[in-house]
């Protein structure tokens, strides 16, 4: 077997184009293109010559040129508040895995939950000609979401959002998850069940679920037992302090996310009480940290990976023209994960 030397054009050497291949194989660029794409039949002998020329010259198609002509880039964008947040990292991973299988690459944009950055990135990726966008917006209810329509680019939203035609959604079943979590505390025998929520307006479904579970159990919903924690550990710590200062302090608390739940546990410990005996704690999301704290945190899964994967699926369907009807909504179930804290 003869050593076949692959040409490795140096950096400065001119790039080898489809025309070079054509010349080397003694055919036209058209034919080379057809061999490569298989869009039209090419005689076996010719095909062989072309394929050899491709190999010998080390030809690689210029994807940018292809994108220009075909008006498709095989790239999607995902816009998240912060890739450093494990939840969004996992979403992104699920998404990447789903679209990767269909040959799409993935852009990532961090908005820091700022509206203007979100807007800017949305325009940017559309101008860059991505084939689809996944938007994990915290700050919903924005009207700029019709931008994608400008180029007819499919958009999938994660979490709640306005009702736009043609914009698919993937949402966790927040309400049901919260119901389960609260019901778990009821079943455990807790009598005063508090809740620590996100910022006002956000994730209202989690509050609804909490309320429903209480009412189903014949309890009354007491607004004095609900405090805001701003999604953070520190916020959870402070909200819990406030809650614990009420006369008969709560003996259980449901937190709208795990970080706040961890903060709440901090407070309980600081007060010299123990979890779950004095106060039971349940979180939401099931981030990895939930298994790291002591006691380990009982929580409800927020299926991040699946959310990403479904978003990818919906997007791929729309991008490939497999689906062009009205908006679809995928609701993902949330599961209770009982651990030590409740």
Residue 125 vs 145, nearer CB to DNA: 125
- In angstroms, rounded to a whole number, what is the distance separating the alpha carbons of residues 177 and 333? 7
Q: How far is CA 252 from CA 3, 114, 224, 229, 245, in A?
A: 74, 34, 14, 16, 14
The secondary structure of residue 27, as a DSSP letter, is S
Give the angle subtended at the CA of 226 by the CAs of 223 and 250, to the nearest 5°.
Answer: 105
Site string for a copy of itself, 126-145 (x = CB under 8 A): -xxx----------------
User: CA Rg, the chain, in Å?
Assistant: 27
Q: Using the rule CB under 8 A, which residue among 19, 43, 55, 105 binds a copy of itself?
A: 105
CB atoms inside a 10 Å sphere around CB 301: 19
12 binds, among DNA, a copy of itself, none (CB under 5 to 8 A by kind): a copy of itself
Give the shortest CB-10-to-a copy of itself separation in angstroms: 7
Residue 47 vs 335, nearer CB to DNA: 47
Select from 49, 54, 56 the least CA-distant residue to 26: 49
Cite the beta strand spans of the chain per DSSP E.
75-80, 105-110, 132-135, 155-158, 167-172, 193-197, 226-228, 252-255, 280-282, 299-300, 329-332, 336-337
Does 293 interact with a copy of itself (rule: CB under 8 A)? yes
Residues touching DNA: how many (CB under 7 A)?
34
Does 29 interact with a copy of itself (rule: CB under 8 A)? no
Give the shortest CB-231-to-a copy of itself separation in angstroms: 15
46 binds, among a copy of itself, DNA, none (CB under 5 to 8 A by kind): DNA
Task: Look up residue 112 and give its two tokens.
Answer: 């820091």
Q: Using the rule CB under 7 A, which residue among 34, 206, 227, 339 binds DNA?
A: 34
Report the interface residues with DNA, using CB under 7 A.
Answer: 15, 17-19, 22, 26-31, 33-34, 36-37, 39-47, 59-62, 65-66, 68-71
Report the interface residues with a copy of itself, using CB under 8 A.
Answer: 8-12, 15, 60-65, 67-68, 73, 75, 82-84, 86, 89-90, 92-93, 96-97, 105-110, 123-125, 127-129, 149-152, 262, 288-289, 292-294
């Amino acid at each position: 077997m003869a050593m076949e030397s692959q040409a490795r054009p140096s950096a400065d050497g001119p790039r080898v184009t489809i025309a070079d291949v054509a010349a080397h194989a003694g055919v036209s660029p058209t034919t080379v293109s057809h061999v490569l794409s298989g869009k039209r039949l090419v005689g076996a002998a010719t095909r062989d010559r072309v394929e050899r020329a491709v190999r010998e010259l080390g030809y690689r198609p210029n994807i940018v040129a292809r994108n220009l002509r075909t008006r498709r880039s095989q790239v999607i964008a995902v816009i998240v508040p912060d890739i450093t947040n494990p939840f969004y990292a996992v979403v992104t991973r699920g998404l990447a895995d789903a679209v990767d299988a269909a040959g799409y690459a993935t852009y990532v944009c961090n908005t820091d939950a700022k509206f203007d950055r979100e807007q800017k990135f949305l325009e940017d990726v559309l101008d860059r000609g991505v084939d689809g966008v996944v938007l994990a917006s915290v700050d919903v209810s924005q009207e700029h979401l019709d931008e994608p329509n400008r180029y007819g680019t499919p958009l999938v939203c994660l979490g709640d959002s306005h009702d736009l035609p043609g914009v698919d959604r993937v949402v966790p079943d927040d309400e049901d998850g919260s119901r389960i979590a609260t019901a778990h505390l009821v079943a455990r025998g807790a009598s005063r069940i508090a809740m620590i929520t996100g910022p006002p307006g956000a994730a209202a479904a989690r509050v609804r679920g909490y309320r429903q579970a209480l009412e189903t159990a014949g309890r009354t919903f007491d607004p004095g037992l609900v405090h805001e924690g701003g999604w953070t550990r520190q916020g959870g710590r402070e909200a819990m302090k406030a809650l614990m200062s009420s006369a008969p302090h709560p003996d259980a608390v449901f937190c709208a996310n795990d970080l706040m739940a961890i903060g709440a546990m901090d407070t309980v410990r600081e007060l010299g009480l123990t979890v779950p005996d004095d106060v039971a704690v349940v979180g939401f999301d099931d981030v990895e940290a939930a298994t790291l704290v002591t006691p380990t945190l009982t929580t409800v899964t927020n299926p991040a990976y699946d959310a990403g994967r479904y978003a990818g699926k919906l997007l791929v369907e729309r991008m490939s023209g497999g689906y062009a009807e009205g908006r679809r909504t995928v609701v993902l179930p949330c599961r209770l994960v009982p651990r030590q804290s409740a």
